[in-house]
Chain A
Amino acid sequence: MDGDDDERLLERIRKGDAESFGVLYDRTWRWLLSFVIVPRVGGRDAEDVLSETYRTALSRIGSYEWRGVGLLHWLSSIARRKALERVRQGGREDGRRGDPPDLAALPDGAPSAEAEMIRLEALRELKGRVAATLTALPPRYAEALRLRLLEGRERAECAALLTVSPATFDVVLHRATKAFEKAWGTPR
């Protein structure tokens, strides 16, 4: 599989082959979600931003100029812009923090067909590092992070499992994120 595959896919989409656009979606949506959109907007708005990304790509694909870089790079740039727009629309942007980097870098020229393979490898490494970092934290902090962020449980449920009030759980979680950041080491 090489970069020409993306070029052929692009040609078929431009000729109106709807299923080819579906193939492009299949190859790329997990990457965009995991490494570009969720790090910027979180899980709540992720679906909307992903949808806006592909609809924008669809409206511009006729004028997209193929430069051999790969369609995932192009889609990632659209997704980054859409995610930042979403943050700004809600007036929720933190002025102290600029646009965060993607969680993983895609090698130049990597075709979209390889995106999922690269994503799984990058995700495996990240998960390993997260697990190692969690073991270095006080167990209560690690548990708060695991319940609320890794397992995605509701705030009230997490508070109940830790036998604290929701307001106290907020403080525990805040301290846990600070402790995680310190243990993680290099700034993200």
Chain B
Amino acid sequence: MNDPFCGDEAPASPEERAEAELLRDALETGGDAGGGSGVATARLLQAVSETAPLGEVAARRLRRDLVAEVGRRSRSAFVWAALSAAAAVALAAALVFGRARQAPAPALLAAREAEAREAVARAGARSRVAQAGGDISSITLVALSRTRTDETFSTLDSERLSRRFAQALSGAGLEARPFEGNPATTPTPGGHS
């Protein structure tokens, strides 16, 4: 192709050709490409151009994507909030009911203590009989009876401790309430729950 340079359009020097290629690269690939102020002028003209770099279709697509993303984030936040609230309720319920389960009524403790004393008395009597008689079945029966008595006392100690703990909580303004249907609030034969 013939290049009709005319007037002041003299042939380009190697330096000028190099700068022209930098400007070409900047326009082809984006960015500055080291093109200096020629690039700044090109960007100014592109910015005021009628041909917007982002068409209306692309702009609407980006808008739709962004709005959908806000919606997703919002829903995620809602689910997290709901889960957190449910977890808080479950934790509170566990604390309240758990504490109530550890605090048997004073009347129940007194009844169990009386039963335990009777059991101790019975075990003592059997022990004396077994030592006098000496047969193996009586000795085994006495051993079993003692084990059961020890368990009863152990349970009583544990419940007494729980009750003191509940009283301490009460003193701190955290009242422990008995739990309806809790087996610990219902006297059971033999003092076992």
Contact = CB atoms under 8 A, between A and B. Distances in A.
Contacts of B17: 167, 170-171
Given A34-B47, A138-B8, A181-B41, A25 B32 contact: no
B172 interface: no
B28 A155 contact: yes
Contacts of B3: 164-165, 168
Interface residues of A, number: 70
Interface stretch (A40-48, A63-71, A72-80, A108-116): A40-48
Contacts of A1: none
B90 to A, nearest CB: 25
Contacts, number: 199
A108 B65 CA distance: 30
B135 interface: no
B9 A140 contact: yes
If over half of A's interface residues share one DSSP class (helix, strand or loop), that class is named, otherwise mixed; here it is helix
Contacts of B1: 163-165
Nearest to B4: A163
A92 B47 contact: no
Chain B CB within 10 Å, residue with most, of A26, A140, A151: A140
Interface string A136-172: 0010100001001111100100000001110110111
A96 interface: yes
A50 interface: yes
Contacts of B78: 16
Given A47-B58, A86-B31, A188-B44, A16 B70 contact: yes
Contact of A39 (B16, B36, B44): B44
A17 B66 CA distance: 12
B119 interface: no
Interface string A171-182: 111110110110
9 contacts: A33-B54, A42-B31, A43-B46, A43-B53, A50-B54, A94-B35, A173-B20, A173-B24, A175-B9
**3 nearest interchain CB pairs?**
A92-B31, A16-B74, A43-B53
Interface of A: 13, 16-19, 21-22, 25-26, 29-30, 33-35, 38-47, 50-51, 54-55, 58, 86-87, 90, 92-97, 100, 103, 123, 126-127, 130, 138, 140, 145, 148-152, 155, 163-165, 167-168, 170-175, 177-178, 180-181, 184, 188
Given A18-B67, A123-B48, 15 more contacts: A16-B70, A39-B44, A42-B26, A51-B62, A92-B29, A92-B33, A96-B36, A130-B44, A150-B48, A152-B46, A165-B1, A170-B17, A177-B38, A180-B45, A188-B44
